[in-house]
Chains A and B, each alone.
Chain A
Amino acid sequence: METLRVLVVDDEQGMRLAVARVLSPYTVRIDDTTGHTVRFAVETADSGEAALEMMAASAPDILLLDMKMGGLSGLDVLHEMRARRIDTLTVMITAYATLETAIEATKRGAHDFLPKPFTPEDLRVAVRRVVRHLMVQREAKRLAEEKRQVRFQFISVLGHELKAPLAAVEGYLQILKDGSAGADPAVIARVVDRALVRTEGMRKLIGDLLNMTRIESGQKRRELVATDLREAATAAFETASAAAAARGIRLALQAPDRAPIVADRGELDIILNNLVSNAVKYNRDGGRVDVTLEPGAGGGWAIRVADTGIGLTNEDAQRLFQDFVRIKNEHTRSIAGTGLGLSIVKKLAQLYGGTATVQSEPGVGSTFTVTLQG
């Protein structure tokens, strides 16, 4: 159970006591996921000056503030609070809740009003309302902070992912500049090739990054049209065919003659290209890639891409769809990748109300399944 501190500021002692009497035994159940209960510790102040002093020492969670007091008025207290950056949620207690005072108090940051005279139940209702608001505010703050952290981490990892290939390219250029590669044309050619490979890696990373930003911001104009999943799979095969042929990997498609779906064709291409190119990259020489398109309920589809490659441990499979996660081991060391492909696939699948999952056995192969709702 959580205890919220309530400060009651009123120059009438009877009012302070009454509020304390009502709120001390009162509890509010929070209807959020935590379902926890809140109780109240009531503190009192008999003037605006005293209240400000108390708040300067330690700000309460909720302020019940009388409008009309000798000395500093409720509005003066609000004004001072704003100046001192105390942002405690405030309920104004006022005998004459005219529109003007309401507007003025709201302008100065009051959250709600409690018109005098009020019944214990009026007070409880007002407090319950402000507690709910406080909880919503907290949750929003927590989510914003979480989002900020995720962003920071993303940017920091991205920085590293760009720095590594850049350093490699820089190293190669330096070698060419100072002639330390010697005069062997084969060595020089390999230096240039590697620099180009790393540049291409950077280009792919930036491409993935832009795709991802478009998906996440929701700003990419999606063109949902009647299209064919089979065509997208065939196109992905064509893209991967050279890499597959070079390593004797067979690509096979099992699908109905037509696989109609309403989707953005560009997005389908991204999904299938990522899955098929991964299945080739992480395969063994002479292996197979089997793509199956299966109709699901309500016009949806399941895309299954099975390889005969290095496979994954359960632990690796859990992390695989996260940003920048690449499984680092002796098999994957020399395989290029941005670490964003599967994260993008998953985000796209979610846009279609679907999922992206993997089943795998180390050394035997992996099967990636993406479902798309129709």
Chain B
Amino acid sequence: MTPDATPFHILLVDDDEDFLFQHRIQLENAGFRVTTASTRAEAEALADQARPDLAILDLMMEQHDDGFILSHHLKRKLPALPVILVTAVTSETGISFTPTTGAERAWVGADAFLSKPIRFEQLKREVDRLLEGKTPGGRG
């Protein structure tokens, strides 16, 4: 990416301050523009104005399923927006909150599921895959 090219814009949503900061600097260093939000409400408000090219959402924020609901809402509003859902639940509780049935997955609408701890290369790979062939700011 050349410095003057318009960068892809990523919406990063998590209630964990450190997760937000770490991924913001890594994504920015990799050439993305990053907007962060730490609640579902904040993210929904931002998505309207910011028009991101991709969203990375944490599953558990104030409510255990905030990520699912946020993903559902974002996809309804912006069907072409790629969404990555990140969750730490599996390793913490031994219970998998990943939607298992086709109907559940369709409702949540996320394009990829990653579980914490995530390595940045892994996240970057998913981001690149989901943005392949797209143009920043474009809705295609």
Contact = CB atoms under 8 A, between A and B. Distances in A.
Interface residues of A, number: 24
Interface in B1-41: 15-19, 21-22, 25-26, 28-30, 38-39
Nearest to A172: B22
Given A167-B117, A328-B62, A330-B39, A182 B17 contact: no
A170 B116 CA distance: 13
Contact of A175 (B17, B26, B92, B117): B26
Contact of A187 (B19, B25, B38): B25
Interface string B84-124: 00000000100000000000000000000000110010000
Contact of B22 (A163, A175, A333, A334): A175
Contacts of A98: none
Contacts of A164: 16
A181 B15 contact: no
Contacts of B26: 175, 180-181
A286 interface: no
B66 to A, nearest CB: 12
A180 B18 contact: no
Interface in B36-69: 38-39, 62
Given A167-B116, A167-B117, A181 B92 contact: no
Query: Nearest 5 pairs between A and B by C-beta?
Result: A168-B18, A180-B26, A182-B29, A171-B22, A180-B29
Interface of A: 160, 163-164, 167-168, 170-172, 174-175, 178, 180-182, 187, 190-191, 194, 198, 328-330, 333-334
7 contacts: A171-B18, A175-B25, A180-B120, A187-B25, A330-B39, A333-B17, A334-B17
